[in-house]
Structure 1
Amino acid sequence: MYPCKLSISGTWSKLIKSCKRFKVGGTSAPQMIRGIVGNGMDIKFWIDPWVSNTPLKVLFPNLFRLERNKWCSVADRLGGLYGNGPVSWSWRVYPSSPEQVADLISCHRMILGQCLVNRADTWAWYDSGPLDFSVNIAKHWAVSARVGSIIPSINFNWCKWIPLKCNVFMWRLLLDRIPTKVALRSRNIIHGEVSCGFCMLEKENVDHMFTACGMAAGLWQGIASWVKLPPIFLFSVKDIVEVVEGSRWSKNKKELLYGILIVACWRLWKARNERVFAQKNRNAVELVADIKSLSYLWLCSTGRFGGVDWKGWKSFVFDVM
């Protein structure tokens, strides 16, 4: 199918190897291309994909080993067929074992009804049916892999009263796209120790740092005490946004709690960076105090909740509709 000997280095060889390595749902780009039989002169019977997206040599390796001319064309085998005649096989040894006979029957059934016509063979991009190939079609196929696997689907609502940087951070956190030590090592950016920047006991990934680490546990209990919620126990970063739904508060008060939780995650990550890069140690009490003051400053800057003053915010006792 491809005029290239892959064992020889060169631009075309590298291009074909790259195409075979890139897969969407386990299917490589070359497997999306299928021959559309015309006169059968240009499509190889065993080598090229034409009956399905997989060549017959892969589907029936027992028969392919017995074939005398492995580079035969479709016309060589179906030349006398035209829907009615027999297949012109050319075996070195006729199939005789039970496996070979079963493969021969299956192969016959697969090519049954394939007819040669008076036009040249063509090639098509085969995605739920033959399509004329274009760069745009291949691009959409390739992008579907990135959207479906590299950027998984999450349900994240942006909070309107906190800064954009906090929303972006929370979105990346839920996608596991922040540079924890485990994430950096998986990308071969760092090597060696990947223990948590706070406790130094477990591997530093998002679930440990924001839910299981002692610093995170202390922070969430401090937040729960401040906003007068039952103790908060988390097992995954996705549980953080579920805390809001678990409260029986008004819509506006839930929005305030939602923003506080996002600011808390952002401040915890900032404290981690201060410890790792500047050797500044903070405790959970200091982080809660910072979250109170920062969140109140950002809340006042929006002017959305005018009935909240600093005294009420510190004790989380106020009236919001």
Structure 2
Amino acid sequence: MALRVVLLRALIIILFLLLLWLGAILLKQVAIIGIPFVSSFFKEVGNGETTSFWNDKWLGNFSLRDRFKRLVRFESNLDVRVRDRASCMGSNRVGCWGWSRVPFGRALGELDELNQLLSSHVSKGDGPDAWRWGGSTSGRFTTNILSESVTTKLLHAGTNVFETLRNNLVPKKVEVFVWRARKRRLPVLDWWGMGGSPNLGLGEMFQGKASLCMSEDGAKIWEAVEWICGYLIWKNRNQKVFNNKCWSPPVALCEIQVKSFEWIAKRYKSKNIDWHTWLHKPQVLVS
């Protein structure tokens, strides 16, 4: 029994360390594409009971300890809370200092600047202090908003390929798939010799232009169909390779028709797309 408990504890520790390692990798990758995830969190002060006056970032994207390096030397207690150093006067705050000795020299200039910051800070009331995330307007962190931010960064990295890669008729995952295909970042580079030259790559497959006889909206719909077709073929190719699930051509066509209708009809706002037209006369939608 004792051995089982020791092994269970060891397994929990290993899993915890593994999660920390994976989290560090993910945060590094998020930072590489230009999203300052860690530094985007800040403290919203209410009653000031749990927020460190000098060490937490509550007056901006900086701590007062780093901002006022001369003045902080005169502080008698570096762990003091906001409530003990910044009392509320109406909707603003004023300093209530506890110096170990009277500040002098350049520290007085920093003290004036700090007093101005405190007087301009609007109090949030007597509620508890809370951490907020700068990545959303509500201040609440959600994985959906972070996922949207990452996708947007990936699709707008500053090259011509990214600038022309938006199509709001398809889900984000399809856009990411096409971006990866164009950048040759899929494990298999050749498109099995289908649809033209045996050397046709996935990137070239999505570089084609729509027919000149199509309307602007029609070209967008046709592009969305191409993208969805490629995405579903790639998805089911992975099912075949990794799960040994076969995908027959009739089933493939049926899924492409259903999924493309479901995604495009839901997002296309110019006019209604009915199932019968989509299935039997799709040409009228792109003319």
Report the TM-score when normalising by structure 1: 0.40
Report the TM-score when normalising by structure 2: 0.44
Q: Which has the larger radius of gyration?
A: 1
